[in-house]
Structures are given as structure tokens and as C-alpha cells.
Amino acid sequence: MAALWTLAFISLIAGFSCSRTSECSYYSLLDYLNLTSSNVALETMRPVKNWTRSTVVQVDLFLLGILESNEKSQTFTNEIRVHMSWTNEFLTWNPSEFCGIEKLSIMRSMLWFPDVIIVEDVSDDGSIRMSPLVTVYSNGSVNADFQQRLTFACRLNLFVFPFDLQTCYITFSSLNSDVDSITFGTISDEKFLTQVSDTVMLTRGEWELKHIDIQSTNQTIENKSYVSFRISMLRKPMLYVIDFIIPLFYFLIMDLASFFISEARGKKLSFKVTILLSISVLLLLLKDILPSTEKDMPIISSYCMVIFTMVAVSVLETMLVMFLMDFEGFSCFYKKARNCENAETDVQLEPMEATAVEDSAETLKKGEGKPKRSDLLSDCDLLKLILDEVKAVQEKSGRQDEVNGKQECYRRLAVIIDRVFFVLYLIASTLFVVLTYLMWIPQML
């Protein structure tokens, strides 16, 4: 009798198992997990059987593209993909009882979902593309993915721009849950995240991904757990070298070469002013790129400003040299203006004296008697006129020699100033260029 009862019990168990395994659809699994109808508890409550135990949310970050960097607003725009995983203790089953089903895709709205945010996010919500489905595994693990065009704040260090290596942080945390409810962690290690991101990256722009580091795990801020990913990106500087650094260096060389241009007709001055205006255009372009801050001023800003200042001082030196070369000419002009009336008076007196001498000579030629003593100039008067003429010529010659001497003195002074300034300018330019590139070379390497 006992054997019959044992046989009947075994038959009942076998029949139940056959009925469970004979149905291999997902519906039976959903019915077993109580997901065929709306379940408010599964949708809203944290899925733990003991409320004192926190839910561990694991996050992996993959970089799909570096789209844009904005130095003025201190932001980056990247395309990212986030993979999240956590355990729902109420969604577990034995795969052997359901035809070997090990995972199940269900609507995200049917389950509790962690309120994960990115702390540095400054983009709009419309840029998030989240799948409506989540994948549930037989051990209760729930996996969800979303992709986002993320614009996030990053404190950029532009001191060695454009040879800069930027380090930005993307931090995941919970909006409302504290560390007792949700604890954050990671699934993969740093090497895997970097390799996958470098492989699947579609666009890089002017940046190159160096590595992704997991900065901190299981740390708390304001009693909230968070996990932070440190992304290191190196700028590709070739475009800025061609557009800014090399042209400015050429402008400096051209300004040095302008010292060999003649000072005549102001060609040298006009050439230097043209160089100064060209540097001003580059400064305006640079102003639209770099932020307006005095802290950690980029080397390239100092580079441009020093070259602009050197060329401006060179223009002032050229103006001084031209002024010294033409300085005595201005004084001669005013002296000639003052002596203009005296010259006109002398011109009017000369015809009258000549007429008197001609009349006396004509009277003697016709023999009309001896001329009157009053009509002829005495010897003393003639000698006095001759001496006056000689004295006037000597004074005029002396004044001319004095003017020429002063002009030569100013000219020599201008030449000395020009040569000394050229030597100092050459030394200062060489030292400046060497020091600037010594600061940049370690960043280039």
C-alpha cells in the first residue's frame, strides 16, 4: 500500500513538471513573475526583500564621439552610451523549469528604475535616447542602456593651449535616494572602457581620447553615493599652429627685416603699421576662442600680446628716428619764413642802386662835363658796400654750415638709436621665442 502511494506521488510530480516544461512561451514566465498585469509594488518600490539592504547600481560609460568643445563656456559635447545593471530580488527563476529561458525583455515602465543623474550635465532632456525595454536575467539582474548627446561642464586648463590635455569628469549619482538606498559601482575596469570607447568612437573632432579612469567608487557627497569617470582628452594642435603661431612668428621676422628698409618717404613706417594691423586681426580671432579670464592666462595670449607690443614699440621707434632726421628741416622752414620780408626788401633796393650807377656812367660817356660830386659814389661808400656784401655772404655761409652741422648731428643720433634698438629688439625677440617654445615643447612631446 505504501508503494502505491509513493508511485502515485512520483507520477503527480512528473505530471506537474511536464505541464511546466511543455509550455515554452514567455507568457508563462511573465505569469510566474507576476508581470502579466500592472504591479504597483514592482513599479515603484525598491526591489529588495530587506529594506535595510541598499541596491547596488553598477554603471559603465562608453564614449562614442567627441563632438564639440566650447572654451568660452567651459563645456564639452560628447556622444555617450551608458550601461546600467542592478538586482531585482523579486524577479528570479530557474531556467530549467521554463525551457531554458535565461533572460527576458520587458517594458521599462513595468519595473522599478533607479533615478540616476549626471551631475555635470548641462544639456536638455531631449538629447537622451533611452530604450523602452530592459533585460531581466534569471538571477534577478536587470540591465538597461541609454544613449545621450551629453553637454557637460568641464573646468578647462588652457594655459598651454593649443597643446593642452583636458581632464573632465562625468559623475553618476542619485537624485533623491541616499547612500542607504542606492550604492553606485562599476561593472568593467578602466582598460576595458578605454579600449571599447576607442574602438567604437565614430568622430573625434580636434581631440584624441587618451584614457578613461574610474576616479572614485562608493564615495558619498551630501550622503549620496556616486561614481565618477575621469576622461582625458588631448587636443590636436596642428590647425592652431598653422593659423596662429607660425603667422605671428613670421610677422616678428618681417618686423625685424623692416629695419633694412630706407627711411625715405615713410615706406618703413607704413610697412610696420601694416604688420601691426595684421597682428590685431589675429588677436580678434583668438578673442572669440579663449575665455575672458585673467587666471592662468594661456601662453598663446601672452605670445600674441608680447609680439603686438614689440611691433608697436618698433613703430614708435621708427617715428622717433624719422622725426630726428627731419627735425632741423622744420627749424629752417620757420627761419626762411621770418627772413622772407628782408629778402624782398633787398631785391627792391638792388634795381635802384643799379640805375644810379648806369646814369653816372652814361653822363661820363657823353662828356657833358664833370659829374657833380653828389651824383657819384665816393670811394668810401663803394668800399663800404663791398664790405657789406662780403659780410652778408660770410654770414649766410656760416648759417648754412651751422644748419648742416645740426642736421648731421641729428642724423647721426637717429642712426645710433636705430642700430641700438635693432640689436636690443633682436635679442629680446630671440629670448622671447626661445622661452615660449621651451614652455610649449614639453606639451608637444
The contacts of residue 304 (CB under 8 Å, 6+ apart) are 244, 248, 279, 282, 283, 286
Residue type for position 369: G
* DSSP codes joined into one string, 34-91: T-SS--HHHHHS---SSTTSPEEEEEEEEEEEEEEEETTTTEEEEEEEEEEEEE-TT-
Query: Of 99-108, 342-351, 380-389, 415-424, where does mean pLDDT reach its minimum?
Result: 342-351
Beta strands in 192-281 (DSSP E): 207-221, 224-235
337/335 Cα distance (integer angstroms):
5
The band of 423, judged by pLDDT with boundaries at 50, 70 and 90, is very high
Degrees to nearest 5, angle at CA 410 with 409 and 412: 65
Q: Is the pLDDT of residue 86 over 90?
A: yes
Degrees to nearest 5, angle at CA 274 with 271 and 277: 155
pTM (two decimals):
0.72
Percent of the chain surpassing pLDDT 90: 31
How many helices (DSSP H) and strands (DSSP E) are in the chain?
11, 11
Q: Is the pLDDT of residue 293 over 80?
A: no
Q: Is the pLDDT of residue 95 over 60?
A: yes
